[in-house]
Structure 1
Amino acid sequence: MTHRFASIVGAAVVSTVAMTAASGALAATWKYSLEEAIDEVQGVYATKFKEHIEANSDHSIEIFPFGTLGESNDTTELAQMGAIQFATASPGFTGSLIPELQVFLLPYVLPEDHDVLADFYQTSDTINEMLAAKYEDKSLHLVDMYPEGEVVMTTKEPVTGPADLDGVKFRVMTSPMLIETYEAFGATPTPLPWGEVYGALQTNIIQGQENPMFFVESTKMYEVTDHITYAGHNNFTTAVVANKTFFDGLSEDEQALVAEAANVAYDHIMEYQRGLTERSEEKILEAKPSMTVTVLTDEQREPFREAAEQVKDAFVEEVGGDAQAVLEGFQEDIAESKARVEGN
């Protein structure tokens, strides 16, 4: 779906929901788009969010899974226009809209521990104040942000170090920092819309991609790759955004309900993810026993960690603005979350 088509669709929907966007009190049905299928992590979160809203108000929510309203860039644009009320908008795509969001894509910044991650996203002032304010400037309101699972590499050849990625055309989202990352890792980063990835791997246009394990399993990426590598370099992050005019038009009670629904859905999705990576890996190996799974040792990860430092430097230099403050804020907030979790 092109941006032009998204604009046409958006214009048609806007004509029927203009009053709704201006006043949440008039909204009977709120539209919510996903970047994934309804039975994947974003769909599980959205379903719980929908259940809470509908159980505690007269409003209903219509969920649009991936593909029904276009690619991720299209649905973010529709949310900005007010054609839909809610959208998932991952930093890998919105980093071009709000450059500082690319901090989520920097390798070896986010904590690996599940409980530390859960605390960090909920309590980080850098996320919930500094970055949230930047959404407002783009006609969006940040409703929630949450991790979806450790990112793994899936490739045609085994990977134990950066040298193994030399010459590998590796699919990345349209983010400068992901391009920087895989260049630093030794690969040839190749930005592609998600809808083209399976076919590109099948025809050897690309030879690798990264995603959480559940997504590798559900989208059958293992069918067109042969090796899975845990390098511990990142955790996939997504955000839930609302059209700013729509959200500002809600009553205080309705805004509180949205925040409450987000909290309920957040707790639910963090619990849902416990063991999800392991369960997904088991399904992959059952479907394709020849698939190899490699967990890199600390020694094997060290060259990747060293390469990550130049990516962090590039983030500060190329993004400018509040990039340095955001990166430092992340480091401080993560340290505080780790202290809280370890202190319990």
Structure 2
Amino acid sequence: MTLKNILSTAVAGVLMTGVVGFSTAAEAANWRYAHEEFEGDVQDVFAYKFKEYIEENSDNTVQVFRFGELGESDDIMEQTQMGILQFVNQSPGFTGSLIPEAQIFFIPYLLPVNDEDIVDFFRTSAAINEMFPELYAEQGLELLKMYPEGEMVVTADTPVRTPEDFHGKNIRTMTNPLLSETYRAFGATPTPLPWGEVYGGLQTNIIQGQENPIFWIQSGGLYEVSPNLIFTGHGQFTTALMANQDFFNGLSAEDQQLVRDASEHAFDHITEYVPGLSEEMLDKILEASSEVTVTRLTDEERQAFMDKAPSVEERFIEMTGESGQELLQQFKEDLEPYKAQ
């Protein structure tokens, strides 16, 4: 048995002791909720708003686990599917291997990066609010809410303005086949790595860059070892709150509504919290380091990267077949109002 398996078994044993997640409506329950980020990051803020609503409106309690406390992203998903955790907040960057259609968020230049547009899109999109729940249900997951965390920003060992500037660079990606396809199209060598290896990989030059929203670049200190920030405008970091479906279906109608209302409460808060966060975190980075450079692509420079997007879109359809094609068509219909502005 590997060390990881031993640790996973130990965690499972601890969490399963006295499990009360499947309690009846008459009993107070302690629900376990894990996410992928650090204290004070966007998923953590969302989790605590969810917890706040549950505990203020019921006798139930929510125990929140942050990044690393129960393992990496694949660990907390496995624990949720097993029913050890009741809730998990995870980005499609990792669920894409489980739900291939979720990789749609990694088609470059598909989503707007404007704060107001992206929030409205997540509120109103039929693809997100009607089609995705069915796809997640097929994997034993109740999709409660998808929400944006901010524009994706690339960091690298040198400034980048053209696809040619990416040549020879190993760019860290999440373990997501379509994201790898995106960076391959951009001219880089995609290098999938778990989050725990990213800082060290940049520090030792195993990788020469990575992408994340600014708040994560700041909180993770990535600018210290990858100081050139490039705003390509190619995507928006997206994440999702899910519940173990057996757990959710076993709740009373009252508790199911409580969970949905808590998700909506957290979503409303986070869509007020995220706009402006990138600028605030960028200011903190620039205050902390004089070595950081900021590159914002011009429209002409961005077009060179946008020209690479169709090949990634084609690969997405190859990976997902008819269901992916239908989802992409609905995405484009949902996005039409924002392109007209």
TM-score, scaled to structure 1 = 0.94
> Is contact 1:22–1:246 with CA below 8 Å preserved after alignment?
no
Q: Distance in 1 between matches of 2:159 and 2:146?
A: 33
Residues 92, 24 of structure 1: alpha-carbon distance in 2 compared, 3 angstrom cutoff? farther
Residues 221, 285 of structure 1: alpha-carbon distance in 2 compared, 3 angstrom cutoff? same
Residues 60, 308 of structure 1: alpha-carbon distance in 2 compared, 3 angstrom cutoff? same
Helix, strand or coil at the partner of 1:110: coil
Find the counterpart in structure 2 of residue 326 from structure 1: 327
Find the counterpart in structure 2 of residue 66 from structure 1: 67
Helix, strand or coil at the partner of 1:16: coil
Find the counterpart in structure 2 of residue 88 from structure 1: 89
Helix, strand or coil at the partner of 1:151: strand
Find the counterpart in structure 1 of residue 291 from structure 2: 290
> Is contact 1:151–1:232 with CA below 8 Å preserved after alignment?
yes
Count of aligned residue pairs for this structure pair:
339
- What is the identity, as a one-letter code, of the residue corresponding to 2:186? F
> Is contact 2:100–2:319 with CA below 8 Å preserved after alignment?
no
Q: Distance in 2 between matches of 1:4 and 1:322?
A: 38
Q: Which blocks of at least 5 consecutive residues in structure 2 are unaligned? A: none
Instruction: String of CA shifts for 1:276-301, please: whole Å, max 9, x gaps.
Output: 10011111011112211011011001
> Is contact 1:2–1:74 with CA below 8 Å preserved after alignment?
no
Q: Distance in 1 between matches of 2:336 and 2:225?
A: 39
Q: Distance in 2 between matches of 1:123 and 1:24?
A: 32
Q: Distance in 2 between matches of 1:90 and 1:96?
A: 11
Find the counterpart in structure 2 of residue 103 from structure 1: 104
Helix, strand or coil at the partner of 1:63: strand
> Is contact 2:142–2:242 with CA below 8 Å preserved after alignment?
yes
Q: Which blocks of at least 5 consecutive residues in structure 1 are unaligned? A: none
Find the counterpart in structure 1 of residue 50 from structure 2: 49
Deviation at 1:14, TM superposition (A): 3.7
- What is the identity, as a one-letter code, of the residue corresponding to 2:128? I
Helix, strand or coil at the partner of 1:322: helix
Matched ranges for 1:88-237 at <5 A = 88-237=89-238
Find the counterpart in structure 1 of residue 11 from structure 2: 9
- More divergent stretch after superposition (257-266 vs 170-179): 257-266
Q: Percent identity?
A: 50
- What is the identity, as a one-letter code, of the residue corresponding to 1:292? T
Q: Distance in 1 between matches of 2:106 and 2:13?
A: 32
Q: Distance in 1 between matches of 2:185 and 2:330?
A: 24
Deviation at 1:3, TM superposition (A): 5.5
Residues 325, 118 of structure 1: alpha-carbon distance in 2 compared, 3 angstrom cutoff? same
Instruction: String of CA shifts for 1:146-172, please: whole Å, max 9, x gaps.
Output: 000000000001100100000100000
> Is contact 1:201–1:225 with CA below 8 Å preserved after alignment?
yes
TM-score, scaled to structure 2 = 0.95
Q: Distance in 2 between matches of 1:305 and 1:102?
A: 18
Q: Distance in 2 between matches of 1:284 and 1:44?
A: 20
